[in-house]
Amino acid sequence: MQSRPQRKWMYVGAFLLFICAGLKAQGPVITPPESIIAENVPSIPASLAETAGRYGAYRSAGLSDWNPEKLEMLIATRFGDSFSSGRVLGGTGLSNPMKSFSGIERLKLKGRKVEGGYIVRGALPCVSNLGAEHYFGTIFERDDEPGGIVMFLADCSDSAITLQPCKPFLAMDGTGTYGVQFRDAFVPDELILAEQAGPFVKKIRAGFILLQAGMALGLIKDCIAIMDEVDASLGHVNRYLPQQPVQFRELHAEFEKETMALASDPYNADDSYWRRVVALRLRLGDAAVAAAHAAMLHCGARGYLRSHRAQRRLREAYFVAIVTPATKQLRKMLAEF
């Protein structure tokens, strides 16, 4: 069976073949994927593929069924609930945009409007949960409209979008994290999430950050379990350590309660609400590192073994503290409120 990129290339190739038969390509040409042997196929100019690409990028909507109770048609669209149900996988490339909104760095992706979509170029150093058929949401800055920023879905099967494996990390390898390069990728209108990304980001930013709370809460919970596990054999001496499981239990309960309270109202536009989200996220990162540190001290040499999960939790805890919004960014945000 052929993968989607392969199929896509073949369709484009077949369509363009007869157009190109009498042409000699000038300028950049399309390089077929390594998995395709293209003998005696004339070079296909990249500009032609760009022009033809928009005709293959369409959004279908078809009648899939009839709901006899509500007496209405059920229409299936290209995406529908495919992301929320997990049928199509994807991630978020929002670190750079979030940092740019805090004035830490410039937007790394640039785009310009063309008929039927945008042409996007630039590179993002790290995006997780990616694979050949995945999508991810990110933002580019418009070259052709000062101040314009657009949020869109990047389609990883697009041949103008390349995934470069990152160097091995301290932890979190296996998360499908890649450097992503856009080489004048055509992003059709149907993949645009918001032409005016500013107001849209303001709406989703609290939910985006609150979803990260799960990483910290799960990690703290396991660090408490690790400390409990060694209590029987080492409790007589561990009780002299300044940080005990009982304190982390209280913190965990407090954070969980605050997360659930804030998550019940994710579109709240008040500044005071947003400040609470940012403050909670900072405390979650700090507490994750503190809990992992305490778990290491409680375990002693057994936690220092490569096979013990205490050292793994320590490495993972630093991810909670450095993934965007990182501790330093959160502190900057709170300082500037």
Ligand X SMILES: Cc1cc2nc3c(=O)[nH]c(=O)nc-3n(C[C@H](O)[C@H](O)[C@H](O)COP(=O)(O)OP(=O)(O)OC[C@H]3O[C@@H](n4cnc5c(N)ncnc54)[C@H](O)[C@@H]3O)c2cc1C
Residues that bind ligand X (CB under 6 A): 91-95, 99, 105, 125-128, 169, 172, 175, 177, 322-324, 326, 329
Are the beta carbons of 300 and 285 closer than 8 angstroms? Answer: no
Minimum CB distance to ligand X, residue 325 (Å): 8
Among candidates 263, 260, 258, 306, which has minimal Cα distance to 283? 258
Q: Which is nearer to ligand X, 12 or 156 (CB)?
A: 156
155 vs 93: CA distance, rounded Å: 12
Minimum CB distance to ligand X, residue 95 (Å): 3
Q: Which is nearer to ligand X, 42 or 125 (CB)?
A: 125
187 vs 59: CA distance, rounded Å: 13
Minimum CB distance to ligand X, residue 192 (Å): 19
Comparing every residue's Cβ against ligand X, the nearest one is 95
In the structure encoding, which two tokens stand for residue 55, read together?
């005709």
The secondary structure element, H or E, covering residue 72 is strand 72-77
Helix, strand, coil shares of the chain, percent, nearest 5, are: 45, 20, 35
295 vs 288: CA distance, rounded Å: 11
Minimum CB distance to ligand X, residue 233 (Å): 34
Minimum CB distance to ligand X, residue 304 (Å): 23
Q: Which is nearer to ligand X, 95 or 259 (CB)?
A: 95
Q: Would you give the distance in Å from CA 234 to the centre of its chain? A: 41
Minimum CB distance to ligand X, residue 185 (Å): 17
Q: Which is nearer to ligand X, 10 or 172 (CB)?
A: 172
Q: Which is nearer to ligand X, 105 or 144 (CB)?
A: 105
For helices 309-322 and 213-229, give the axis angle rounded to 10 degrees: 150
In DSSP notation, 87-144 reads SS-EEE--HHHHHHHTTSS--SEEEEEETTEEEEEEEEEEE-S--TT-EEEEEEEESS
Minimum CB distance to ligand X, residue 315 (Å): 11
Minimum CB distance to ligand X, residue 4 (Å): 22
The secondary structure element, H or E, covering residue 165 is strand 161-165
Q: Which is nearer to ligand X, 8 or 99 (CB)?
A: 99
Q: Which is nearer to ligand X, 16 or 326 (CB)?
A: 326
Q: What is the DSSP letter of 45?
A: B
Q: Which is nearer to ligand X, 126 or 163 (CB)?
A: 126
